[in-house]
Amino acid sequence: MTTTPTARFEHLLSSRALIGWGAPVATARPVASPLYEFGGGYPDPASFPYDDMVEATARMMKAEGAQALTYGDPQGYRGLRELVCHKYRVFEGLEVTPENIFVANGSGHALSLAFSAFVDPGDPIICEAPTFSGSLNNIRRHGPEILDAPVDADGMVTRVVRERLEGLKRQGRRCKLIYTIVNFQNPAGPDLSLRRRQELVQLAEEHDTFILEDDAYGELRFEGEPKPPVYALDRGGRVIRAGTLSKILGAGVRLGWLCAPRAMLPAFQGFNFGGGVNPFMSRVATWYLRDHMEEHVKLLIDVYRAKRDAMLRGLWEVLESTDVEISRPAGGFFIWIRLPAGTDSARLEELAVAARAQYTPGPAFFPNGGGERFIRLAFSYEPPEKCYEGARLIARAILDARR
Q: What residues line the site for ligand PLP (CB under 6 A)?
A: 41, 106-108, 132, 134, 181, 186, 214, 216, 244, 246, 251, 256
Give the C-alpha separation, 323 to 346, whole Å. 19
Helices (H), 119-235: 133-140, 158-170, 194-206, 230-233
What is the rounded distance in angstroms from the CA atom of residue 201 to the CA atom of residue 230?
7
Residue 296 C-beta: closest distance to ligand PLP, Å: 17
Contacts of 374 (CB under 8 A, 6+ apart): 130, 187, 336, 337, 338, 339, 361, 362, 365
CB of 256 to ligand PLP, least distance (A): 4
Complex with ligand PLP: residue 112 or 343, whichever CB lies closer: 112
| Nearest distance from C-beta of residue 42 to ligand PLP, angstroms | 9
Distance of CA 298 to the CA centre of its chain: 21
Cβ contacts of 41 within 8 Å, gap of 6 or more: 186, 216, 247, 333, 334, 378, 380
User: Smallest distance from the beta carbon of 174 to ligand PLP, in angstroms?
Assistant: 25
Going by the DSSP 8-state scheme, the letter that residue 227 receives in this structure is: P
- 279 vs 389, beta carbon nearer ligand PLP: 279
> Are the C-beta atoms of residues 332 and 181 closer than 8 Å to each other?
no
Give the integer Cα–Cα distance in Å for 179 and 13.
29
- Rounded to a whole number of angstroms, the minimum distance from the CB of residue 339 to ligand PLP is 22
Name the residue type at position 69.
L
**Beta pairing partners, 337:** 326, 375
The CB-of-254 to ligand PLP minimum distance in angstroms stands at: 7
Residue closest to ligand PLP (Cβ): 106
251 vs 353 by CB, closer to ligand PLP:
251
Name the residue nearer to ligand PLP (CB basis): 289 or 324.
Answer: 289
Q: Which residues pair with 258 in a beta bridge?
A: 102, 242
- Cβ proximity to ligand PLP: between 100 and 107 the closer is 107
Determine phi and psi for 257, rounding to 5 degrees: -165, 165
Q: In angstroms, give the least distance from the CB of 306 to ligand PLP.
A: 20
Residue 343, SS3? strand
Terminal Cα distance for the chain, rounded? 49
Contacts of 360 (CB under 8 A, 6+ apart): 27, 29, 39, 40, 133, 187, 375, 376, 377, 378
To the nearest whole angstrom, how small is the minimum distance from the Cβ of residue 185 to ligand PLP?
Answer: 8
Q: Which is nearer to ligand PLP, 308 or 392 (CB)?
A: 308
Comparison of 300 and 398: residue with beta carbon closer to ligand PLP: 300
Residue among 333 and 348 whose Cβ is closer to ligand PLP: 333
Nearer to ligand PLP, 251 or 267 (CB): 251
Q: Tell the smallest beta-carbon distance from residue 49 to ligand PLP (Å).
A: 17
From CA 181, how far away is CA 133, in angstroms rounded? 12
Is 126 within 8 Å of 175 (Cβ atoms)?
yes
Question: Which residue number, 118 or 132, has a Cβ lying nearer to ligand PLP?
Answer: 132
Taking the complex as a whole, how short is the minimal distance between the CB of residue 233 and ligand PLP, in angstroms? 20
Helix, strand or coil, per DSSP, at residue 352: helix
